Structure formats: structure tokens, C-alpha cells
């Protein structure tokens, strides 16, 4: 009887932890439109997102997504996750800003550009700060 209770509790708690993470694909992040907005601080135009309801529903949730690592500065401190490898990414190719996520880790990471990883963290939507990506993953962890 004791073993049955432990088994039931184990299944229950493993189900709870799985329910807290939403697996998404890059397609889930395409519910967004962009318009050019002049940012006086930089004297230039930037793409400003207008997030759709599907993307807004993901804000604050713990999500999991797979993609290509971009070591943005090359110093191993600022990482992005991209739908596409470096040669085709938003900065180097013809992809849109919805194909990258800024990764904010709590610990230093040893990652290389174009390394394929799955990550999870809390999704933050950014409309205002042009110094950061539109999608930011906070408390990011690499999924083994």
C-alpha cells in the first residue's frame, strides 16, 4: 500500500512540473506585426512589435524552445537563440525579429555560435527597450 501511494504521488508531482512548462515552436512567436518607429535617443527608426493575443498569452509563462545559439558579441556573455543558424539569422540573413530570443542566464555559459540547444525560462515581451530583443527569456536554463 505504501508503494502505491508513493507511485501515485510521484506521478502527480511529475505531471505538475510538466504542466508548468509550455513547449513552443518558432511558429508560435509569429503572431506579431511590426511598424517602424522613430526613436529620438538614437535618431533612427526601429521596428516596434505589436504582439498578437497568442503571443501575449505566453508572456510570463515558462516556455521551452529549441534553436541555434548566437554569441552576439563573441565574448561568451550575451547570447541569443535563433530559429536559424548564423548565416541565415535576423542580423545576417533575411529573417525577421520574431526569429530571435534574448537569453538571460543566471550563470555563465560555455556556448558556441550555431550550437543547437533547447532552453527553458520565463518569456518576457519587450515593446519599449530597443537595446534588447522583442522576446527575452529570463532565468534561462539549458534543457539536457
> Does any domain span residue 42?
yes
pTM of the complete model: 0.82
| Between 137 and 71, residue with greater pLDDT | 137
How far is 17 from 15, CA to CA, in rounded Å? 6
Is 56 a domain residue?
Answer: yes
Whether 50 is in a domain gets the answer: yes
What's the structural domain count of the chain? 1
The sign of the CA dihedral 33, 122, 27, 65 is: positive
In a domain, 12, yes or no: no
Residue 68 lies in a domain: yes
CATH of the domain at 71: 2.40.50.870
Domain range enclosing 112: 22-143
In the prediction, which pLDDT does 16 show? 47
Q: What confidence score (pLDDT) does residue 1 get?
A: 52
94: in domain: yes
Kindly indicate the confidence band of residue 91, based on its pLDDT and cuts at 50, 70 and 90: low
Q: Is residue 10 part of a domain?
A: no
pLDDT in tens, 5-59: 544 444 444 444 445 899 999 999 999 999 999 999 999 999 999 999 999 999 9
Amino acid at each position: 500500500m505504501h508503494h502505491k501511494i508513493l507511485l501515485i504521488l510521484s506521478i502527480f508531482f511529475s505531471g505538475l512540473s510538466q504542466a508548468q512548462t509550455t513547449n513552443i515552436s518558432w511558429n508560435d512567436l509569429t503572431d506579431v506585426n511590426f511598424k517602424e518607429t522613430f526613436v529620438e535617443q538614437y535618431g533612427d527608426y526601429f521596428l516596434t512589435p505589436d504582439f498578437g493575443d497568442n503571443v501575449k498569452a505566453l508572456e510570463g509563462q515558462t516556455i521551452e524552445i529549441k534553436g541555434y545559439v548566437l554569441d552576439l558579441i563573441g565574448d561568451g556573455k550575451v547570447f541569443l537563440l535563433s530559429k536559424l543558424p548564423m548565416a541565415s539569422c535576423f542580423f545576417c540573413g533575411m529573417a525577421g525579429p520574431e526569429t530571435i530570443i534574448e537569453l538571460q542566464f543566471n550563470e555563465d555559459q560555455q556556448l558556441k555560435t550555431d550550437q543547437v540547444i533547447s532552453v527553458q525560462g520565463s518569456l518576457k515581451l519587450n515593446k519599449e527597450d530597443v537595446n534588447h530583443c522583442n522576446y527575452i527569456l529570463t532565468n534561462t536554463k539549458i534543457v539536457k
